Structure 1
Amino acid sequence: MLRDDAHYRLAFTHSIWAFPQVINAATHYRLDFPDLALILALVRGGSLARASQLLKVDVSTVFRAVRRLEAALGQQLFEKSRAGYLPTSLAQTLAEQAERAEQALEAARIGVEQGGAVVSGTVRLTCTDSVLQGLLLPALAQFMPNYPALTIELSTSNDFANLSRRDADIALRLTRTPPEHLVGRELAKISYRVCASERYLQNIDASDLAAMTWIAPDDFLPDHPTVVWRRQHLPSVTPGYRCNSMLSVTELVRAGLGVAALPDFLITEGLQALSEPLHGYDTALWLLTRPDCRALRSVVTLFDELGRALRLP
């Protein structure tokens, strides 16, 4: 939400009347923060009335400002429809830039209030959905309230290429052999056990694993430790359900649809282990980043906090 700031409103109002009266070329016009704030308010509000409330000016002022800004840029920013003012791709891009500027301004305010000892910026973090649900979310809840100016862009993926392509700054991965071009630390050993729900076990013979309905990852993880173990120890078993994520495998087990080998951190209340840890098929939780990210305070701070919060016994 845009702040109710008298100096900001003055700057915004001044920018409206300070538009060049004659513009020779759209490329000569230079956007400033009040322009971005105008676009962001209209994207967020979706209507002139709502945008005027966010900016604390009247509707006609917003209308004239948008028209003049579009003329200055030589491009349409919004399309008027029954649903309101719909942003063009340009307006959407500029609104995203405006949000970053807004976050930077808020970080600067917090830095002043805290004497400059503030960690700010955006860190892109990637992990699998199972690690997100079972490990990352509880960890973030522990320490992120201490970093109000730090923004995390979170994506779930099984691909190391996220860091290789510079699509992410930090990755949490389950692997025995992380790529050599990444740097990081091993946080914990992860074991797998065959599990079923208490409801499923009420109607089957728990001593015969081969006779049970199996739930397994599909071909997206052909070399997953649980897949390798099942093929070697239960070669006659054909899974009754295949899922494209370990979190989905776990949820099907929890629903009573069959059994599966699950990582320890996903074996929670309502699930019962039917085996000891699968010896020789364990993996490790790695916290990884790119070498060039180690100079960024925001990345280093999040990396260190995750390293402390995710160290498992």
Structure 2
Amino acid sequence: MLIPGTHYRLAFTHSILALTQVINAATHYRLDYPDLALILALVRGGSLARASALLKVDVSTVFRAVRRLEAALGQQLFEKSRAGYLPTTLAQSLAEQAERAEQALDAARIGVEQGGEVISGTVRLTCTDSVLQGLLLPALAQFMPSYPALTLELSTSNDFANLSRRDADIALRLTRTPPEHLVGRRLADISYRVCASAAYLQSVDAHDLASLTWIAPDDFLPDHPTVAWRRQQFPGVTPGYRCNSMLSVTELVRAGLGVAALPDFLIGDQLQPLTGPLHGYDTALWLLTRPDCRALRSVVTLFDELGRALRLP
């Protein structure tokens, strides 16, 4: 919950004081917000020119300010290289803290403008690239504009360990059996159908599936339902193309390179199903999080919004 009134200044002061603790104890220089803004701009920009553009000052001003700050701290903040200005460990740490302070200020301003509390913070979400493209992006477009102070970090992966290692707060996964140590909701049943493009079907006999060029996940997804189905139905078929993601499989099918078993949400209007659902090889869309994340309001808010937006018929 945002702190009302004059407590804003107190909260921000505490944030700045926390930043000064990363400076060597022997240093008496007291960091101020302009110092943090300078470091953050140079870390983000990577060069004096880009940092000056971010700060809306000239390049010489940035150069002199960095030199003065390093002299005052008694420590180097950036190393000059052919690639630009590379932050030291100290500068990187200060930049990360400055970014959090920046987000807190943005949330405070939004709260004042909207006249109420604001959901803020950073939530890390992981999903496969196919779920991202076919399901997640349309859902985010529906509700994320209502949360301007909420930052979302997205990563695409097939690995449940992202949550187990605490690399992510929320996961969207296609699975029949989610890990027992995670909590979540089963949002929808997902079926697979063999599909092809109209262009590819013009030159082949679609009734003889075994004779067609197959596109399939590679050994990166050895237990994928479509792999198990194909091996059971067509044990003699060797795929002509293998991909490390279902989204790539789908794109090759759209390009007219062959056929593949695809999830319903990726088929769209451009592809023609050649079979009905592959019975016994369906899966489910799960929305998952760690038990400890249920105490974080930002995570709970995003979790609930995704649960509503992604619940399929």
TM-score range, shorter chain: 0.7 to 0.9
- The 5 Å alignment of 1:228-243 reads 228-243=228-243
Aligned residues: 292
Deviation string, structure 1 residues 232-270 (Cα, Å, up to 9, x no partner): 111111111111000011011111111100000000121
Deviation at 1:77, TM superposition (A): 1.9
**Contact 1:26–1:74 (Cα < 8 Å) also in 2:** no
- For 2:234, the aligned partner's letter is L
1:298 correspondence with 2:298? yes
Output one character per residue of 1:54-94: Cα deviation in whole Å (capped at 9) or x when no partner. 44556555433312321343332223457754444543443
Q: SS state of the match for residue 70, structure 1? A: helix
* Match of residue 270 from structure 1: 270
Is the CA contact 1:183–1:289 (under 8 Å) kept in the aligned structure 2? yes
Is residue 225 from structure 1 mapped to residue 229 from structure 2 by the alignment?
no
Matched, 1:187 2:199: no
In 1, the alpha carbon distance for the partners of 2:58 and 2:233 equals 72
Q: Distance in 2 between matches of 1:24 and 1:101?
A: 21
State how far apart, in whole Å, the 2-side matches of 1:231 and 1:61 are: 66
RMSD: 2.3
CA distance in 2, matches of 1:253, 1:177: 28
C-alpha distance in 2 between matches for 1:281 and 1:257? 24
The amino acid that maps onto 2:308 is R
- Which AA in structure 2 matches 1:213? T
**Distance change >3 Å, CA 197–CA 41, structure 1 → 2:** same
Equivalent residue for 1:310?
310
User: TM-score, normalised on structure 2?
Assistant: 0.86
Structure 1, 102-111 or 186-195: larger mean CA deviation: 102-111
Output the CA distance in 2 between the equivalents of 1:212 and 1:62. Answer: 62
Question: How far apart, in 2, do the equivalents of 1:227 and 1:197 lie?
Answer: 20
Distance 1:24 1:311, change over 3 A: closer
Aligned partner of residue 115 in structure 2, secondary structure:
coil
> Matches of 1:197 and 1:129 in 2, distance apart?
21
CA drift of 1:148 comes to 0.4
**Deviation, structure 1 residue 167:** 0.5
How far apart are residue 104 of structure 1 and its match? Answer: 1.5
Q: Which residue of 2 aligns with 1:200?
A: 200
Deviation of the 1:52 alpha carbon:
4.6
User: Matched residues, percent identical?
Assistant: 90
Matches of 1:162 and 1:24, distance apart in 2? 34
- How much does 1:102 deviate? 1.1
**SS where residue 206 of structure 1 aligns?**
coil
